[in-house]
Amino acid sequence: MVEVQGAHGLLVNQFLSPLTNTREDSWGERTKFAIEIRKEIAKRCGWDFPVTIRLAVDDFLDGGITLKEGKRIAEELQDYYQIIQADIGLGPKELRLEPMPFQQGWRAYLAEKIRPLKVPVAAVGMIREPDVAVDILRNKADMIVLGRTLIADPDWLIKVREGRAKEIRKCIGCSECIKARHDEDERIRCGANPQVGREIEIKKAEEKKRVVIVGGGPGGLEAARFAAIRGHEVHLFYDEFGGTLNLAALPPGKEKIRWLIEYYREELKKYDNLKMYHKKALKNDVIALDPDAIIMATGSKPFLPCPPLRDFVYLYNDVLRGEVKFEGKSIVVGGGGLVGCETANMLSENNKVVIVEMMPEIAQGMETLSKKHLIRELQEKSVRILTTTRIVDVARGEIIVEKEGEQMLIEADAMIAAFGSRPFVPFHIEDVPTHVIGDAKSVRNIYSAVSEGFKVAISI
């Protein structure tokens, strides 16, 4: 099948939209371009060769295609295209590649609104769970289109068909794939599926080894999975199953991260050669197993560059876990990296929050569309954002900051330290090959941990 892209503000969409097509010649007939493309494909492939159009049925911009107009365009194009996919037009880019907080299947109403047509109408966007897909197919659309869903798990459909939905590795919406393609022009990669872009054959290990993995975060769990797949005798120690994923899933809109924990919980049950210990590994526990290889996936610990003032300075992780709670307070979040921003987002639901960041921008390194979404949310919740601002002194109730050489006093009821984390490796055992992965190697993100877990496990 050929898909013509007539949405997302691209050329065909620009011909379709009254906002961008102001021509006075025959191409001002807005559907003409989409129809001529279809005719040209038919000329080369025949009319029965299936062609679908991803159609902008709502531009999400004043003066653009409205849903009513979108329905009219779809009715015209149904005589030419075998499937119409109802999608978004010229409007905000973040609606086309929606970040994690968006609700599953939120765009499916577009398909519902342009139905019925003579040809099947497809819904697209953020369809992750089979139940959601079925609901859309029963009530809103004739077909569904899956994108990231299949990047994270190319066997999604097979698993659904075989009644193995619990085994699906769902796309968590981390946007690593979009960051790779759109921000970095790199080859595609996935935070949940380390084999994306590396579709190599995984071979059984030539020599079966005893592999001890310390840490049950995403890196440790993925390493355990592939070490087990390759036939090693695997011992996995974890303090908290999922490690940092548990923390990462706590800020508003990030619940989907829990899916990855659930996936590993289900997946790791499959391997008889994998033994799991729900305890923090001590050096002696590891030595007692006499391992051939150790994988250190012990993550990181929050970093506190200022005095730990009791009842005033708190660590972000205690706030995210709800171990310290605030209501109606003035709070300074020190550090505007991703973690600081998300902690601020959570706190701003019922407090007045200021973010203080040394760098010229907050949430550095985050994928562009997700970042835009997060910053908009912070602005909507009236979070004050101070960039290129340094904290110079912290006293109970008062924080002195400096911006462009000028000092300023911020009164606050609490300061949350979100100055980042430092790799944590609790011990080293001599003479045993040890691989340090994920945040324990250097503090980064889910993708780095998962992909390093995979790479190490296929190399042992």
Per CB under 6 A, residues contacting ligand FMN are 5, 8, 96-97, 124-127, 145-149, 177-178, 181, 188
Q: Are 392 and 379 in contact (CB under 8 A)?
A: no
175 binds ligand SF4 (CB under 6 A): yes
352-356: strand order across its sheet: 313-315, 414-417, 330-334, 352-356, 384-386
Rounded Cα distance, 369 and 158, in Å: 31
Farthest-apart Cα atoms in the chain, separation: 82
Of 168-176, 279-287, 357-365, 423-431, the segment contacting ligand SF4 by CB under 6 A is: 168-176
**Cα distance between residue 336 and residue 318, in whole Å:** 17
Closer to ligand FMN by Cβ: residue 151 or 458:
151
The answer to whether 176 contacts ligand SF4 (rule: CB under 6 A) is: yes
Q: How far is the CB of 369 from ligand SF4 (least distance, A)?
A: 11
- Rounded-to-integer distance, Cα 205 and Cα 340, Å: 42
Give whichever of 15 and 264 is closer to ligand SF4, judged by the CB atom: 264
Residue from 51, 53, 108, 192 that binds ligand SF4 (CB under 6 A)?
192
Q: Is 392 helix (H, G, I), strand (E, B) or coil?
A: strand
Is 171 a binding residue for ligand SF4 by CB under 6 A? The answer is yes
Q: How far is the CB of 400 from ligand FMN (least distance, A)?
A: 44
What are the beta bridge partners of residue 111? none
Residue of 37, 141, 146, 177 interacting with ligand SF4 (CB under 6 A): 177
CB of 193 to ligand SF4, least distance (A): 6
Tell me the C-alpha distance between 76 and 16, whole Å: 12
CA 84 to chain centre: 28
Q: Which residues contact 171 (CB under 8 A, 6 or more apart)?
A: 128, 148, 149, 151, 152, 153, 192
Binding of residue 148 to ligand SF4 (CB under 6 A): yes
CA 319, 238, 218, 426 torsion-angle sign: positive
Residue closer to ligand SF4, measured from CB, 233 or 262: 262
**Min CB(217)–ligand SF4 separation in Å:** 16
| Token pair for 209 | 């080894």
Determine which helix (DSSP H) or strand (DSSP E) holds 381, and give its type and residue range: none
51, 190, 211, 394: which one binds ligand SF4 (CB under 6 A): 190
Give whichever of 114 and 124 is closer to ligand FMN, judged by the CB atom: 124
> Which listed option, ligand SF4, ligand FMN, none, makes contact with residue 176 (CB within 5 to 8 Å by class)?
ligand SF4
Instruction: Considering the complex, state which of residue 177 and residue 313 has its C-beta at the smaller distance from ligand SF4.
Output: 177
CA–CA distances in Å: residue 364 to residues 34, 138, 183, 249:
40, 42, 13, 19
Closest CA to 458 of 437, 444, 443, 432: 437
CA distance 67 to 306: 54
Shortest separation between residue 149's beta carbon and ligand FMN, angstroms: 5
Taking CB under 6 A as the criterion, the residue among 191, 194, 251, 453 binding ligand SF4 is: 191
Would you give the DSSP letter of residue 458? H
Amino acid making up residue 374? L
If contact means CB under 5 to 8 A according to the sort of partner, which of ligand FMN, ligand SF4, none does residue 211 touch? none
* By CB under 6 A, residue 151 contacts ligand SF4: yes
Instruction: Specify the stretch interacting with ligand SF4 by CB under 6 A; choose among 39-47, 48-56, 175-183, 417-425.
Output: 175-183
Q: Which long-range contacts (CB under 8 A, 24 or more apart) does 40-49 make?
A: 41/2, 41/4, 45/2, 49/2
**Does 173 engage in binding with ligand SF4 (CB under 6 A)?**
yes
C-beta of 147: minimal distance to ligand SF4 in Å? 8
Applying CB under 6 A, does 152 fall inside the site for ligand SF4?
yes
Segment near ligand SF4 (CB under 6 A); pick from 148-156, 289-297, 326-334, 432-440: 148-156
Cα–Cα separations (whole angstroms), residue 400 to 183, 386, 393: 36, 13, 5
Q: Contacts with ligand SF4: how many residues (CB under 6 A)? A: 13
Amino acid residing at 323: E
Q: Choose the one of ligand SF4, ligand FMN, none that binds residue 51, judging by a C-beta under 5 to 8 angstroms depending on kind.
A: none
Residue nearer to ligand SF4 on the CB measure, 242 or 291: 242
Angle, alpha carbons 331-333-337 (nearest 5°): 155
Select from ligand SF4, ligand FMN, none the partner in contact with residue 152, using the beta carbon and a kind-dependent cut-off of 5 to 8 Å. ligand SF4
Pick what 97 binds: ligand FMN, ligand SF4, none; C-beta below 5 to 8 Å, kind-dependent.
ligand FMN
Which residues bind to ligand SF4, rule: CB under 6 A? 148, 151-152, 171-177, 190-192
